[in-house]
Amino acid sequence: MRGPHNIWRLVRTAATMERTGAIGAVLEAMDAPANLRVVARVLGWPFKWLGLPGDPALPPATRALTALGPAYIKFGQILSTRPDVVGPEMALQLQYLQDKLPPFPTSVAKALIEEELHLPVDRVFSEFSEPVAAASIAQVHRARLADTGVEVAVKVLRPGIERAFRTDIDAFYLAAQIIELLSPSSRRLRPTEVIRHFEGVVNGELDLRLESASAGEFAVNTEADAGFQVPKPVWNLSARQVMTIGWAEGLSLADNPALDAAGHNRTELGTRVLSLFLSHALRDGFFHADMHQGNLKVAANGDIIAYDFGIMGRLDEYTRRVYAEIIFGFIQRDYRRVAEVHFEAGYVPADRDIDEFARALRAVGEPIFGMDASRISMARLLAYLFEVTERFGMETRTELILLQRTMVVVEGVARSLDPHINIWQVARPIVEDYIRDNVGPKAVARDLLRTARILGRFGPRLPRLVEARLIRQGHPEVDEPPQRETHSMVWMLAGAGLTAAGVWIGSLL
């Protein structure tokens, strides 16, 4: 329930960060300015006694985030993939949040499974292990199906997790409203819309039936992708709070020493992670939006195995084309074209100067090219990008939030495998292939074919739709029935002609 009472939650958040020492640790790791560090400590110190103590055995940031709850843990998971933003030491500490959180008892998990599936656990599974991984929302057990002997992973939601998330999200809404009230310039970032988007994502993640559906669709889309595996769900043993899916056997993508000992090429793995993500986003418009190391393994044959499909991203065809053209423009160092695409898509207000925007984009892109990736400070780059978006009045695009966030996470994963990886070199062939097939004469012909087919289907109905609209506007005399029939026949013939033309165009592609 939203309301002023959530102020307590926000105060306790700041107090917990101060009590655990997380504020100082985070600001130091991010190399924050000295004055910002002083202000943060002064504001947090009076409320320190109100903070949650957390687990003193954990490092400060990890201790604070685990104490504050699942939504904060999600944030920490993202930071764990960005050693270039928070530093390698803190990134390593935050990896604890990916799948090493304290589990809840196996007896509770079994009771929940029986309640959801209406079947005794011992009858369904011949083996059922203690938790093998525990994250912010659920934990996973390794099991074996009694009827087939196939090994599976059984994912079970944490008890009370929905209420815990609701508490955090309500406080986030209040924080967004306070930010918008105190800082009018922040409204272009649409913080409330961002929280609403996050809420929708979380609600989907809390229904494991939806995750099963995502796993199934993702498996179909990627079955032909070389070097990539997606476990398939067991539908009859999955429900709202329980999901059964094929077991993924492999090494964690976060364990570089183990990967090296097994003879895997980490440079090639880093390149493949980036390539797969771009292919899924551009080719399919459906991508894994939580691709941190905790959700990726490497099989014995070198295949990358993805799992945990609670957060998936989807892009419509137009957004994919815009995204591809922006990336391609950066790759080509054609900043004028990148600026034009932003204006054409409505990402930048039309009254702004396109040449000035192109110049600002050049200042973002040029330092990247020809430079070793390990020398690029992503923290400084993101800070400058924020300045550019503020200067040109760009609003936050909620449809791109998952894409942008996942791009940051995936780049962080790739860099953890190969610190010298260059994202532009990896992206180039994939984006060029997409541009060739989806932006240009071939794409125009395909769009015409689709338009002709739609008109062919709905042509006979158009006169009635127009007449109904005119009648609603106060023109009851629009047409007599004979004329209406004639018009319908004309539209039917026109639709048939357009369909035939579309088929002919299709035959030429």
Of 152-156, 178-182, 314-318, highest mean pLDDT: 152-156
Q: 102-144 pLDDT, tens per residue?
A: 889 999 999 999 999 999 999 999 999 999 988 778 899 999 9
- Structure confidence at residue 129 (pLDDT): 95
Do 245 and 231 touch, CB atoms closer than 8 A?
A: yes
Q: 247-274 pLDDT, tens per residue?
A: 989 999 989 999 999 999 999 999 999 9
More confident residue, 180 or 98: 180
More confident residue, 313 or 156: 156
- Structure confidence at residue 496 (pLDDT): 47
Do 418 and 265 touch, CB atoms closer than 8 A?
A: no
Which amino acid is it at 76?
A: G
439 vs 424: CA distance, rounded Å:
20
* Residue 398 DSSP SS3: helix
- Structure confidence at residue 440 (pLDDT): 61
196 vs 33: CA distance, rounded Å:
31
Half-sphere exposure (Cβ direction) of 232: Cα atoms closer than 13 Å: 9
Which amino acid is it at 277?
A: F
Residue ranges in 100-236 assigned as alpha helix (H):
106-117, 121-124, 161-182, 191-205, 208-222
Helix 22-29 with 34-44: angle, nearest 10 deg: 170
- Structure confidence at residue 508 (pLDDT): 44
Is the pLDDT score of 486 beyond 80?
no
Residue 476 confidence class, pLDDT cut points 50, 70, 90? low
What is the pLDDT averaged over residues 186-212?
A: 77
Q: At residue 183, what are phi and psi to the nearest 5 degrees?
A: -135, 85
What is the pLDDT averaged over residues 2-11?
A: 67
Residues whose CB falls within 8 Å of the CB of residue 324, separated by 6 or more in sequence, listed in order:
282, 431, 434, 435, 438, 439
- Structure confidence at residue 461 (pLDDT): 67
- Structure confidence at residue 167 (pLDDT): 77
- Structure confidence at residue 92 (pLDDT): 77
Average pLDDT of every residue of the chain: 79
Pull the structure tokens for residue 434. 């997409």
Do 240 and 116 touch, CB atoms closer than 8 A?
A: yes
Is the pLDDT score of 172 beyond 90?
no
* Residue 223 DSSP SS3: coil
Q: 423-459 pLDDT, tens per residue?
A: 778 888 888 888 888 776 666 666 666 666 666 666 6
Half-sphere exposure (Cβ direction) of 411: Cα atoms closer than 13 Å: 22
Which amino acid is it at 179?
A: I
Q: 387-429 pLDDT, tens per residue?
A: 777 778 777 666 666 777 778 788 888 888 988 887 778 888 8
- Structure confidence at residue 157 (pLDDT): 93
Is the pLDDT score of 305 beyond 50?
yes
What is the pLDDT averaged over residues 289-304?
A: 90
Q: Could you give the residue numbers annotated as active site?
A: 290
Q: 29-59 pLDDT, tens per residue?
A: 666 666 656 656 666 677 777 778 888 888 8
350 vs 340: CA distance, rounded Å:
10
- Structure confidence at residue 425 (pLDDT): 81
Is the pLDDT score of 378 beyond 60?
no
168 vs 173: CA distance, rounded Å:
9
- Structure confidence at residue 443 (pLDDT): 61
44 vs 366: CA distance, rounded Å:
39
Report the share of the chain in percent with pLDDT over 90. Answer: 28
Q: 332-375 pLDDT, tens per residue?
A: 889 899 889 888 888 888 888 999 989 988 887 787 666 666 66
Is the pLDDT score of 224 beyond 70?
yes
Residues whose CB falls within 8 Å of the CB of residue 418, separated by 6 or more in sequence, listed in order:
266, 267, 269, 270, 271
Collect contacts of 90-96 with beta carbons under 8 A, ≥24 apart.
90/25, 90/26, 90/29, 90/59, 90/61, 91/412, 91/416, 93/59, 93/61, 93/62, 94/61, 94/62, 94/65, 95/254, 95/293, 95/294, 96/58, 96/62
**Measured CA distances, 186 to 27, 124, 243, 380, 463 (Å):** 22, 53, 40, 20, 47
